[in-house]
């Protein structure tokens, strides 16, 4: 079996992976755009604040993670370094509408997705600057940009690179990567492409336990090849033959999945392989590495700690509706209390009306009577792609709707 990659991704001549030497300038701008005095106040006051008869509790870990911090900072550095050049992102820099609109305001365009305008990969020129997001890009996209010769600013998060290493290792050793993730998510597309860099490298993406059960049913001989291939047709590497490519599997995760679910999926797959191949030979058939990143884990743990410690009346979770890690925070919180996922403080329309995306649904809905009439204990958290100013604005807006001036209560 060949261990040589099919795609040798040559690096372009101007390739920046460690910033552009303009950290101080970028940090000053970031602070101006995303800082929140209110959030800092909460951080230094045991993460809670009483405003009238509302008592707010901020999760211990929330908001921008190290990978997002770095990606956004590099975009600001790029704007400073190349003021005259066209600069593009391959897609959303992170899954937060506020930050993506800010990129557009800074004159940074998008080559794909809902924020793209008139330039796509086809129209790129050698002298253009292209920023690769924290999720990374596929090997094919990287190769394409290298071939054009663009200046590349690579912000792929170190935790994502670690997953890539695992998947590469699986492919080199003849193991199929079974990736717990969403096959259309940028990170999972990029990660799975690492498997197919290698001859004989294959991948399968499972999004939840239900799909994992289907894989286990195939392994146990309870699901036909046709049913398997039909169900997973969008989530498989080209040429995937389940009988052959499910004999040796290695599990990895999209970094932002629900960690408890990822662990359960890995365990379920291990049991299926043990049943089929026996414990004596399991090392030749099954491998697993938990690749949930520490930032995702910390935010999930902090939500659980908060909802278990406080009898909250409700929890506000702030973050993009397409943000995987934010959605998982909502899922966790909603098992203990009413959880409202809002993508912007303006979703808090009035004390009687809120726009939000319910857990497990894809569309925003409007709900009434969401805020208790009297006193309330309210939890707050934000996904890894939500800047602090949006958290502070949400809290401030809610207090204003109740007729309070939050500043009065910060002094007391
Ligand atoms: S969520 Fe984790 S993997 Fe993704 S950018 Fe943040 S730190 Fe990196």
pLDDT digits (tens, 9 = 90+) for 42-64: 999 999 999 999 999 999 999 99
Can you give the residue ranges of every domain in the chain? 34-65+294-411, 66-157, 159-288
117/100 Cα distance (integer angstroms)? 13
- Annotated catalytic, 210? no
Which residue is listed with tokens 């009434």? 368
190/88 Cα distance (integer angstroms)? 18
Nearest to 398 by CA among 337, 332, 353: 353
Q: Which CATH number fits domain 34-65+294-411: 1.10.620.20, 3.10.100.10, 3.40.1010.20, 3.10.129.10?
A: 3.40.1010.20
C-beta of 292 in contact with ligand 1 (< 6 A): no
Topology agreement, domain 34-65+294-411 and domain 66-157? no
Nearest CA to ligand 1 atom 2: 293
C-beta of 77 in contact with ligand 1 (< 6 A): no
C-beta of 316 in contact with ligand 1 (< 6 A): no
Pairing between β-strand 365-368 and β-strand 353-356 as defined by DSSP bridges: antiparallel
- If one residue of 94, 133, 255, 294 were mutated to test the ligand 1 pocket, choosing by the most ligand atoms within 8 A of its CB, it would be 255
Regions of the chain short of the pLDDT cut 50: 1-2
361/358 Cα distance (integer angstroms)? 6
pLDDT of residue 412: 56
pLDDT tens digits, residue range 180-202?
Answer: 999 999 999 999 999 999 989 99
Nearest CA to ligand 1 atom 6: 67
C-beta of 190 in contact with ligand 1 (< 6 A): no
pTM: 0.91
Are 178 and 250 contacting, i.e. CB atoms less than 8 angstroms apart? yes
Cα of 403 from ligand 1 centre, angstroms: 38
Asked if the 159-288 domain carries CATH number 3.40.1010.20, the reply is yes
Ligand 1 atom nearest 158 alpha carbon: 8
C-beta of 174 in contact with ligand 1 (< 6 A): no
pLDDT of residue 292: 84
DSSP-derived secondary structure letter, 179: E
pLDDT of residue 1: 45
pLDDT of residue 341: 98
Q: Which CATH architecture has domain 66-157?
A: 3-Layer(aba) Sandwich (3.40)
pLDDT tens digits, residue range 79-138?
Answer: 999 999 999 999 999 999 999 999 999 999 999 999 998 899 999 999 999 999 999 999
Are 26 and 159 contacting, i.e. CB atoms less than 8 angstroms apart? no
Please state, in angstroms and as integers, the Cα–Cα distance from residue 178 to each residue in 70, 263, 291, following that order.
29, 13, 12
């Amino acid at each position: 079996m060949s261990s040589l990659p099919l795609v040798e991704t040559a690096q372009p001549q101007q390739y920046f992976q460690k910033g552009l030497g303009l950290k101080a300038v970028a940090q000053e701008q970031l602070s101006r755009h995303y800082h929140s005095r209110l959030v800092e106040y909460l951080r230094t006051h045991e993460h809670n604040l009483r405003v009238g008869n509302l008592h707010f509790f901020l999760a211990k870990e929330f908001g921008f993670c190290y990978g997002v911090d770095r990606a956004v900072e590099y975009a600001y550095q790029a704007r400073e370094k190349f003021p005259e050049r066209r600069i593009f992102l391959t897609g959303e820099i992170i899954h937060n509408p506020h930050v993506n609109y800010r990129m557009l305001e800074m004159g940074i365009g998008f080559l794909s997705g809902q924020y793209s305008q008139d330039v796509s990969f086809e129209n790129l020129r050698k002298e253009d600057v292209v920023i690769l997001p924290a999720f990374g890009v596929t090997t094919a996209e990287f190769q394409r940009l290298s071939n054009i010769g663009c200046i590349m600013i690579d912000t792929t998060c170190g935790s994502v690179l670690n997953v890539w290493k695992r998947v590469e290792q699986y492919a080199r050793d003849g193991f199929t990567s079974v990736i717990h993730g969403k096959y259309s998510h940028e990170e999972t597309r990029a990660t799975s492409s690492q498997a197919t860099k290698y001859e004989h490298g294959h991948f399968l993406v499972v999004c939840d336990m239900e799909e994992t059960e289907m894989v286990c049913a195939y392994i146990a001989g309870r699901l036909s090849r046709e049913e398997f291939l039909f169900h997973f047709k969008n989530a498989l590497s080209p040429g995937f033959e389940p009988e052959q490519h499910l004999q040796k599997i290695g599990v990895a995760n999209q970094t932002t999945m629900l960690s408890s679910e990822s662990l359960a999926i890995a365990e379920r797959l291990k049991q299926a392989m043990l049943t089929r191949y026996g414990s004596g030979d399991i090392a030749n058939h099954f491998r697993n590495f938990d690749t949930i990143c520490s930032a995702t884990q910390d935010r999930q743990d902090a939500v659980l700690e908060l909802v278990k410690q406080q009898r909250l009346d409700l929890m506000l979770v702030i973050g993009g509706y397409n943000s995987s890690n934010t959605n998982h925070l909502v899922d966790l919180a909603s098992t203990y209390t009413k959880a409202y996922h809002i993508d912007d403080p303006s979703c808090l329309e009035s004390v009687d009306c809120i726009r939000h995306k319910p857990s497990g649904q894809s569309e925003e809905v409007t709900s009434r009577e969401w805020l208790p009439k009297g006193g309330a204990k309210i939890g707050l958290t934000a996904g890894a792609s939500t800047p602090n100013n949006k958290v502070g604005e949400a809290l401030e807006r809610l207090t204003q709707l109740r007729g309070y001036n939050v500043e009065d209560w910060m002094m007391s």
